Every structure is written in structure tokens, then in C-alpha cells.
A = this chain, B = another copy of it.
Amino acid sequence: MNKKELIVAASQSTGHPQVLIEVIFDEIQRLIVEELAEKRTVSISGFGTFTVIEKPEISRINYFTKEKITVPAKSVPKFKFSDVFKAQVNRF
């Protein structure tokens, strides 16, 4: 199932128009990105928790050219399913 099919299915089952569902889905996604970019956690009960970890800048040597390369520091998003969600996936 891709995003379009997910929106169509949610529209059919809730009776709300697809465009409304997509606007709301995109806004929730934008808010999650914003929280993670601010290094904050988003914990959604019954679903899971979004966190972000900081990877420091590291230096590497190019194996062939022996040139020194600096890999910049970056934030890496993480997601952990809640136990409720995991149980639901096994309950069907």
C-alpha cells in the first residue's frame, strides 16, 4: 500500500474527502519533522515514539587516495513501535 492508496482507504472508511485527509496527514508529518529537528521526542500512545540521535562529525581516510575526509555531524531520526502496536500486528 502506498500513500495514495492509504489516503483513499482512509477516505472511504471515514467518509471524509481525500484532500482533507492528505492535508491533515502532511501536517502531522511536518509537525513530527519540526519536533525532531528541534531535538525533541514525539510519543504517540498506541503507535510509537519518534526520537533523534546526534551523530558527531568524524574523519575518514579515502581508502584509495589516502585523502582525509570529514563526515559532518548529523541528526538521525529513530522510531520505536509501542507494545500495543506490536500486539495488534500479531492479533489479526
- A35 in contact with B1 given A24-B16, A79-B81 (CB within 8 Å): yes
Interface residues of A in 1-52 (CB under 8 A from B): 1-3, 6, 9-10, 13-14, 16, 20-21, 23-25, 27-29, 31-38, 40-48, 52
B86 close to A38 (CB less than 8 A):
no
Closest to A22 in B: B24
A88 close to B33 (CB less than 8 A):
yes
Give the Cβ gap from A3 to chain B, nearest Cβ, in Å. 5
Interface residues of A in 70-92 (CB under 8 A from B): 74-77, 79, 81, 85-86, 88-92
Measured CA separation A56–B55 after assembly (Å): 34
Measured CA separation A25–B74 after assembly (Å): 30
B52 close to A75 (CB less than 8 A):
no
Residues of B close to A41: CB separation below 8 A: 1
